[in-house]
Amino acid sequence: MKQAFTKYSANGNHFILFDHMHESFDLTKELIISLCDTAFGIGADGVAQITPHSEYAFTFRLWNADGGEAEMCGNAARAAAWHFIKNHQSKNEVTFKTMNAVYTASLERERLWIQMSEQNQDLNLPPDSFPAYSRWYYVNTGVPHLVLEVPDTQKIEFDLVAPKLRRHRLFPKGTNVDFISVPDASQARVNLRVFERGVEGETWSCGTGVAAVAWATRAFYGWKDDISVVTKGGEHQVRFDPKGHLWYSGEIKKVFTGEIS
């Protein structure tokens, strides 16, 4: 049976999305790995799927390029919410279910904002865990993130250091690793490079990482207003609503549609 898909890019973080709101289809680990392969498949950081939910607009699932299912992916969820609003409803707000939480997204003047529902300190790490870095911060924003401040994100041995930290003994399930630098602390603007667990390499952007970095820099610098987070894939805007909830947005691009058989 042929299956339609849409490939989306969210600030360079790219995903294959299957819309199964009206049909069912099992995505096997082998299929996901083959689809994400850049040489012999479509090429993607992961595969996303939306299916019906009895209470919310849809259920969102995401598998990384290694075939493992992730609890959450902010950029893929943004793309899925964008797709659902454009194809399944007329209103500009949608609430959907992930593996562990409920998320809300809102389309405002063709810019999709998503409220990042999860912010958990689910590990008790010793304060001297990473003495090589002036500041560090850990938070689970749907998936675990270790945020490390460096003088310049472009002058680190990323491919050498990041994989070791991703598998650090302090993280039972591994962690995503976010290197940040702040050129001017008087401006709420931060540069980010991220190594993603499951992709096992640097990605152009990471939504849960953007959220983690926003929480980290608020703790480091006391920033209270909007924050700009700049990745390889472009700039993301972070804002906090009156209740203190974090929302972020960025570019979403529909790359192409196709079918697999």
pTM value? 0.95
Digit-coded pLDDT (tens) for 102-127: 999 999 998 999 999 999 999 999 99
CA dihedral (71, 74, 76, 79) in degrees, to 10, reads 140
Rg (CA), the chain: 18
Q: Under CATH, to which class is 3-118+250-260 assigned?
A: alpha beta
Q: Under CATH, to which class is 136-243 assigned?
A: alpha beta
Out of 10, 73, 188, 214, the active site residue is 73
Digit-coded pLDDT (tens) for 159-189: 999 999 999 999 999 999 999 999 999 999 9
Residue range(s) of every CATH 3.10.310.10 domain in the chain? 3-118+250-260, 136-243
Digit-coded pLDDT (tens) for 86-103: 999 999 999 999 999 999
State the average pLDDT for the chain.
97
pLDDT at 1 over 80: no
Q: Please state the rounded mean pLDDT for residues 193-206.
A: 97
Supply the pLDDT for residue 91. 95
Supply the pLDDT for residue 129. 97
Q: What percent of the chain has pLDDT over 70?
A: 100
Whether 73 is a known active-site residue: answer yes
Digit-coded pLDDT (tens) for 11-33: 999 999 999 999 989 999 999 99
Whether 206 is a known active-site residue: answer yes
Question: What are the residues whose beta carbons fall under 8 Å from the beta carbon of 251, sequence distance 6 or more?
Answer: 9, 10, 11, 233, 234
Out of 65, 94, 206, 246, the active site residue is 206
- The larger pLDDT score, comparing residue 224 to residue 51, is at 51
Supply the pLDDT for residue 261. 85
Supply the pLDDT for residue 259. 96
Supply the pLDDT for residue 45. 97
- Which SS3 state, helix, strand or coil, does residue 32 take? helix
